[in-house]
């Protein structure tokens, strides 16, 4: 068995040329920490005994990814490096009213009636895997087969797995049709309300001006009455003389 030197995290040499079998604990005289060490020969044997085949590891990862995606409420697609559909979740099939045989293995641009075949979207998707980028809230407004006009927000990013030879990306879809319709209705209501307020304000301003004119007329007539009374009083005084 070969001997090894072991150091504490603080840098102090714990033991030099120690030969042992298995795991031991050594207390550092400098910092007081206890370090648990294991000889490399024993560790290499354990690693060999617990080695996992790469294909088996990929199978575990793929099952986990699909399970997680299937539990999500929004439509999702898993795409390979060529932008072909590896898998879609149940929500995707229910929302777009399509079948797996019409989706899996197909280029994302060929799905449906080509609704995702958008030049700007293609540039974004094709940059994700080689450049490790992502994008969020890319809006697509389209009249889809079977479900009609929808407004969909797309989000995409790379799925990081141990096997980099099989890169994948996740394409998430959010239906914001109702939200956008409510926003449009709110804008329309706000516009109508603004026009109505402006109309009522103009009517009130006109009424105020009318009342001001009436008030001026009344004040003028009151002044004339006062003047007339003065003239009558003056005539009465002259007649008495």
Residue 121 makes CB contacts below 8 A (sequence gap 6+) with: 138, 140, 154
Decide if pLDDT at 186 tops 70.
yes
Does residue 171 share a domain with residue 81? yes
**Domain co-membership, 90 together with 118:** yes
Domain containing 152 equals 54-175
Average pLDDT over residues 144-157: 91
Same domain, 112 and 21: no
- Tell me how far CA of residue 54 lies from CA of 31, 57, 67, 162, in angstroms: 42, 5, 20, 9
148 and 59, same domain (yes or no): yes
Q: What is the pLDDT of residue 112?
A: 85
Distance between CA 41 and CA 43 in Å, rounded?
Answer: 5
15 phi and psi angles, rounded to 5 deg: -155, 150
**Whole-angstrom Cα distance, residue 154 to residue 130?**
19
Name the 3-class secondary structure at 173.
Answer: strand
Q: Which residues pair with 47 in a beta bridge?
A: none
- Asked if residue 116 and residue 37 are part of one domain, the reply reads no
What is the pLDDT of the chain when averaged over all its residues? 78
Tell me how far apart the alpha carbons of residues 224 and 63 are, in angstroms, rounded to a whole number: 100
Determine the pLDDT at residue 176: 93
Interval 86-97: pLDDT, tens: 989 999 999 999
Q: How far apart, in whole angstroms, are the C-alpha atoms of residue 65 and residue 69?
A: 6
CA distance between the termini of the chain: 152
- Whether residue 63 is found in the same domain as residue 132: yes
- Asked whether residue 119 falls in the same domain as residue 209, the answer is no
The distance from CA 175 to its chain's CA centroid, rounded to whole angstroms, is 12
Closest CA relative to residue 12, chosen from 33, 28, 34: 28
Domain check: are 79 and 188 in the same one?
no
**Tokens linked to 66:** 């699909």
Residue after which a domain boundary falls, among 175, 192, 226: 175
Residues 154, 210, single domain; the answer is no
Which segment of 55-64, 124-133, 213-222 scores lowest on mean pLDDT?
55-64
At 173 the pLDDT is 92
> Residue 152: which pLDDT band, with cuts at 50, 70 and 90?
very high
The closest of 137, 164, 169 to 151, measured between CA atoms, is 137
Residue keyed to tokens 């009609």: 148
Question: pTM score, two decimals?
Answer: 0.57
Length reported for the chain = 241
Residue 51: predicted pLDDT: 45
Q: Are residues 150 and 184 in the same domain?
A: no
Q: Output the domain CATH number for residue 168.
A: 3.30.450.20
Considering the domain architecture, whether residues 8 and 67 belong to the same structural domain is answered as no
User: Which has more confidence, 220 or 26?
Assistant: 220
Tally of domains within the chain: 3
Instruction: State whether 59 and 43 are in the same domain.
Output: no
User: So what's the pLDDT on residue 53?
Assistant: 56
């Amino acid at each position: 068995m070969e001997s090894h030197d072991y150091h504490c995290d603080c840098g102090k040499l714990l033991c030099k040329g120690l030969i042992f079998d298995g795991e031991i604990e050594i207390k550092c005289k400098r910092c007081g920490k206890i370090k648990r060490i294991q000889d490399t020969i024993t560790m290499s044997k354990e690693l060999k005994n617990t080695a996992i085949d790469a294909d088996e590891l990929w199978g575990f990862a793929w099952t986990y990814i699909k399970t997680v995606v299937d539990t999500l409420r929004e439509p999702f697609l898993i795409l390979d490096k060529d932008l072909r559909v590896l898998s879609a979740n149940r929500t995707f099939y229910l929302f777009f009213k399509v079948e797996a045989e019409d989706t899996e293995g197909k280029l994302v641009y060929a799905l449906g009636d080509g609704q995702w075949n958008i030049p700007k979207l293609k540039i974004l998707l094709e940059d994700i895997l080689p450049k490790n980028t992502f994008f969020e809230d890319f809006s697509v407004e389209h009249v889809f087969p079977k479900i009609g006009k929808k407004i969909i927000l797309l989000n995409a990013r790379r799925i990081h797995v141990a096997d980099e030879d099989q890169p994948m990306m996740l394409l998430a879809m959010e239906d914001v049709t109702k939200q956008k319709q409510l926003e449009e209705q709110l804008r329309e209501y706000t516009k109508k309300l603004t026009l109505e307020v402006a109309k009522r304000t103009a009517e009130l301003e006109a009424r105020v001006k009318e009342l001001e004119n009436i008030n001026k007329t009344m004040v003028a007539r009151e002044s004339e009455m006062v003047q007339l009374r003065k003239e009558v009083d003056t005539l009465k005084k002259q007649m008495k003389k």
